[in-house]
Amino acid sequence: MMNLFKSKKDLFEFKYGDITWLFTSASKPVTHKDKTYLPFVVSRGNIEVEDIDKCETDVVFPYPQVIANENGDDIQKLFSNKIYFGGVTVTIFELYNDESLVIYKGRVTQPKFDDDANTMTLVCSTSETYQNRNILTRKFQKSCANKIYDRFCGLNFDDWAVEVTLTSVNALSISFTVNPTPVLDENGDPVLDENGDPVTEVKTYESGYFNRGLIFKNGVYTSILSSTSISASLYRQHFGLQVGDVVKIAPACDQTRQVCHDKFDNHLRFMGFPNVPAVNPTNDQIIK
């Protein structure tokens, strides 16, 4: 019985955008379904499957210590910088005789650091915990209720995104140069030179054009607070950004009908009520 017990192994898969970390509680690397799980001192709490109210478990790592995948991405830095919010998913498998069973699937909701025990505990919750959240409702308001690039807004991120090359990365501040793009004719086809090569141009963007916009890399979007023609300030650190990276950035909308029409020509999908009166006589005036 003891040998059978030892043959069971836990496999952990963490994902943040396109970045994946694969770990195992075994003492040696484990290859399963063309994936290699790296050995690490990692443990998990009990998993209750009978009751959806008991849908949390803890995954414990040693801390501080480099906890990297095969590409050298350190998952500890992801949580130390607190940029994981809502973005890291976890799947736990139980492996026995080369057969795996998914015993847990959820997301990381909170990291806890214990300097005395030298541990980093990742509190994980399943999707059932979303049932306890308030449901967002649309209101009669002057500004648009849509979020840019969502299915209600209808704009495609890639249609408005600009490829740039990062020239500096300093905490929440980045600098960049805009990459050349092909010149298009009135039909949307590339313009060719006398040698048949596409003619390119480097577009310029005014200061503030990317305010409240998005930066995209490795499957993760991060909000841009403010921007100039060559730099931007981010809402939070974007994990893995390095000088020389080619990333996409896209502008945002201030959710007014004027910008929706003038900047994006998307006023038919505008979901605000700009003519709503500022004063409600029922509440603010004495009606005789």
Q: What is the pLDDT of residues 205-260, one digit of tens each?
A: 999 999 999 999 988 889 999 999 999 999 888 888 899 999 999 998 888 999 99
Which is more confidently placed, 125 or 224?
A: 224
| Rounded Cα gap, residues 288 and 284, in angstroms | 13
Are both 31 and 99 inside the same structural domain? yes
Q: Which of 130, 146, 165 is the last residue of a domain?
A: 130
For residue 218, tell me if it sits in a domain: yes
* 42 in a structural domain: yes
Query: Contact at 8 Å (CB) between 198 and 208?
Result: no
- Please give the residue range of the domain that contains residue 248: 157-269
The answer to whether the beta carbons of residues 278 and 285 sit under 8 Å apart is: no
Q: What is the average pLDDT across 38-63?
A: 75
On the question of pLDDT at 97 being above 90, the answer is no
Indicate the pLDDT class of residue 158, thresholds 50, 70 and 90: very high
| CATH value at residue 201 | 2.40.30
What CATH number does the domain containing 76 carry? 2.40.10
In a domain, 234, yes or no: yes
pTM of the predicted structure, to 2 decimals? 0.74
| One domain, residues 84 and 125 | yes
Q: What is the CA radius of gyration of the chain?
A: 25
Instruction: Please indicate, yes or no, whether residues 212 and 113 belong to a single structural domain of this protein.
Output: no
Asked if the structure places residue 286 within a domain, the reply is: no
DSSP one-letter string for 26-92:
SSS-EEETTEEEEE---EE-----S-TT--EEEEEEESSS--B-TT--BHHHHHHTT--TTTEEEEE
Q: Structurally, how many domains does the chain consist of? A: 2
Residues in the chain: 288
Type of residue numbered 265:
D
* 3 state SS of 159: helix
Q: How confident is the model at residue 160 (pLDDT cuts 50, 70, 90)?
A: very high
3-state helix, strand, coil in the chain (%, to 5): 10, 40, 50
Is the same domain home to 14 and 121? yes
3-class secondary structure per residue, 181-216: EECECCCCCECECCCCCECEECCCCCCCCCCCCEEE
In a domain, 84, yes or no: yes
Are both 198 and 161 inside the same structural domain?
yes
In a domain, 232, yes or no: yes
In tens, the pLDDT along 273-283 reads: 888 887 766 66
Q: Are residues 40 and 89 in the same domain?
A: yes
Q: Are 16 and 125 in the same domain?
A: yes
Identify whether residues 107 and 184 lie together within a single domain. no
Residues 201, 183: contact at Cβ < 8 Å? yes
Provide mean pLDDT across the span 85-110.
84
Please indicate, yes or no, if residue 277 is contained in any of the structural domains. Answer: no
Q: Let me know whether 13 and 122 are in one domain.
A: yes
Identify which has the larger pLDDT, 4 or 43: 43
pLDDT tops 90 at residue 190:
no
Each residue's pLDDT tens digit, 164-184: 999 999 988 999 999 998 887
Residues 126 and 15 in one domain: yes
Look at residue 31 and tell me whether its pLDDT is greater than 60: yes
* Same domain, yes or no: 33 and 118: yes
Q: Name the phi and psi angles at 115, rounded to 5.
A: -70, -25
∠ CA 72-74-80, nearest 5°, is: 160
pLDDT (0 to 100) of residue 182: 82
Local structure of 281: helix, strand or coil? helix
The answer to whether position 141 is within a domain reads no
Amino acid at 1: M
Contact 272, 141 (CB under 8 A): yes
Closest CA to 83 of 178, 177, 213, 215: 215
Residues 99 and 172 in one domain: no
